[in-house]
Structures are given as C-alpha cells and as structure tokens.
C-alpha cells in the first residue's frame, strides 16, 4: 500500500532513487513519527507526510513532518549539529540504502543515567523485541544478538561499576536535544546508522547535560527479555546489574555527535 509520503526532487537527489523508492512503497516509511516542525505526532499511513532531510557540510539526517506544516525539502544546518553523522547518505560511493534505517522495528532503546565511578553517566540500553538471527541465515542458529555485538567490538560486562571501553568508529547522534541514531562504521568509510529513530527520542535535560559534559554515551545491550521496560532509573540499574550477573550484558562507550 503506498503511503502518503512526499519526497521532493531535492530530497530524492540527496538520498538517491533507491532509498526514495523504498520510502514511497513503505518499506522504510516511518509510520507514526513526531513532526519535525510542530513536534506533535503524525502518521504517514493517515495523513500526507513530508520527508525532510537535514544536511550539514558532509552529513545528513532524514526526518518527517506533516505536509500541512512544511513541504518536503532539504534543510541545511550547522555541521556541528550533525557532526560525524551518516556521511553515506550524501553521495559516498559506499552508500547502502538499507543502512539508512536498519532494524528499527526490532531494537528498543531506553535512555537513563547510570552511576559509575561516582559520576552519573548518560546511558542507552538496547534490547531487541525478539531474537536476532545472523544476517543471511534462517534464524535456526538461535538468538545471535550478543555474539554479533561481541564481534563488532562490544565488551562483556560483568561489573557495572567499571566504564566500558571506547568502540572505535561508533557514535551516538543527538540533534536539538533528541536522540536520532546510533552510528557504526560504514563498509567504505564514514558511518551508517546501526539504529535510527522512527521519531527522534526525547531525552531528559539531565541526560542531555551529562552527555554534553562527558561528550560520550555508554551503550549497553542485552538480548530480548533481559532488561524490559523499566519506568525508573533505579529499576533500570537493577535490571542492568541482573543482566550483568547473568552474563548477558555487553557494553561500549561511544562519543557523542551533535548536541
Ligand atoms: Zn506538524
């Protein structure tokens, strides 16, 4: 079913025909989103929706807006708001359209502050909504989520009181105080999205302040069923400690991109 999505010629030129067509047939359309203009919810199944591409000097982020708020367009923004992000969208030869919005249906992300080494650290907790199969397999190998992350350089975490190591080439993209993406090294240099928000995720003022101060974010990950949705940060910490004790928690420190 074609979605009610507008992709302007400018946006199409930036993201490429393949990705634009994927958006238009609904493969990677957002469904519900927060309008990038008026900040209220929208739904690309229910109302005309504009694709809006924010472009820095060499990076870009795709967002969505009510067509009644703004037309589909390319918006140039200060590079320091998008620093380090998604070089691949803007014409790098190694562009992988599927890298633009991978797996957002299966990776859940929670933000919270976690006390480590006497400081409250900004953290993201990633938990899939189901088992993750190794790409290209039929899934009969069981849940490979932890193994895949270990191969990417995440470290097993037995003790939450020690800071995880920095994972080279990965970063966490914040723009205008909202979480947009977790970026990983692209196949031909630059970065592609490992996780990208359908709708940019609101973080607390405290989280944003801590992230801007440390210029880094701790990313914890655990397989489906290990953490769950925790309504309070002390409960999130308890769940992380439990996952660590059960040896199903991996972690990495990632630099912050954006503000
Ligand atoms: Zn709007």
Shared domain for 111 and 88, answered yes or no, is no
The residue-averaged pLDDT of 139-158 equals 88
35 CA to centre of ligand 1 in angstroms: 5
Q: Same domain, yes or no, for 254 and 153? A: yes
- Nearest alpha carbon to residue 192 among 87, 77, 109: 87
66, 100, 134: which is the final residue of a domain? 100
Regarding whether 210 and 157 lie in a shared domain, the answer is: yes
Predicted local distance difference test score (pLDDT) of residue 181: 87
What is the whole-number distance in angstroms between the Cα of residue 17 and the centre of ligand 1?
26
Task: pLDDT band for 80, please (50, 70, 90 cuts).
Answer: low
What is the pLDDT, as a whole number, of residue 164? 94
Ligand 1 centroid to Cα of residue 34, in Å, is 8
Give the residue-averaged pLDDT of 91-112: 49
* CA 253–ligand 1 middle distance (angstroms): 35
d(CA 176, CA 191): 20
Instruction: Say yes or no: 127 and 223 in one domain.
Output: yes
Residues within 5 A (CB) of ion ligand 1: 35, 37-38, 66, 69
Ligand 1 centroid–CA 32 distance in Å is 12
Number of H helices, E strands in the chain: 6, 14
Residues 148, 213, single domain; the answer is yes
> What pLDDT, on a 0 to 100 scale, did the predictor assign at position 172?
93
Whether pTM exceeds 0.75: no
| Range of lowest pLDDT (56-70, 118-132, 163-177, 245-259) | 56-70
Q: Are residues 58 and 184 in the same domain?
A: no
Q: What is the pLDDT of residue 13?
A: 87
**CB-CB contact of 236 with 136 (8 Å):** no
One domain for residues 94 and 149? no
Q: Looking at the predicted structure, is the pLDDT value of residue 90 above 50?
A: no
Q: Does 199 lie in the same domain as 121?
A: yes
**pLDDT per position as a tens digit, 184-238:** 887 777 778 888 877 788 889 999 999 999 999 999 999 988 998 888 888 999 9
Q: What domain count does the chain have?
A: 2
Residues 247 and 165 in one domain: yes
Domain's final residue, options 100, 116, 146: 100
Residue where a domain terminates, one of 100, 118, 147: 100
Q: How confident is the model at residue 170 (pLDDT cuts 50, 70, 90)?
A: very high
Its domain, for residue 31, covers 5-100
């Amino acid at each position: 079913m074609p979605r009610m999505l507008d992709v302007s010629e400018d946006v199409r030129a930036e993201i490429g025909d393949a990705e634009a067509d994927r958006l238009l047939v609904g493969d990677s359309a957002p469904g519900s989103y927060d309008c990038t203009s008026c900040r209220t919810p929208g739904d690309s199944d229910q109302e005309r929706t504009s694709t809006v591409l924010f472009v820095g000097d060499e990076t870009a982020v795709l967002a969505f807006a009510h067509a009644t708020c703004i037309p589909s367009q390319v918006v140039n923004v200060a590079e320091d708001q998008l620093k380090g992000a998604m070089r691949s969208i803007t014409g790098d030869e190694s562009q992988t359209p599927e890298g633009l919005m991978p797996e957002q249906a299966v990776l859940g992300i929670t933000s919270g502050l976690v006390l480590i080494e006497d400081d409250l650290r900004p953290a993201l907790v990633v938990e899939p909504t189901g088992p993750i199969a190794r790409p290209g397999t039929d899934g009969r190998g069981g849940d490979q989520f932890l193994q895949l992350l270990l191969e990417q350089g995440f470290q097993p975490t037995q003790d939450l009181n020690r800071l995880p190591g920095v994972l080279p080439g990965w970063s966490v993209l914040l723009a205008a105080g909202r979480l947009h993406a977790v970026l990983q090294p692209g196949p031909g240099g630059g970065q592609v999205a490992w996780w990208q928000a359908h709708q940019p995720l609101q973080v607390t003022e405290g989280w944003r302040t801590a992230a801007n101060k440390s210029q880094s974010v701790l990313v914890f990950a655990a397989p489906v069923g290990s953490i769950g949705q925790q309504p309070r940060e002390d409960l999130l910490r308890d769940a992380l400690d439990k996952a660590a004790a059960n040896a199903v928690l991996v972690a990495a420190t990632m630099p912050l991109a954006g503000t």
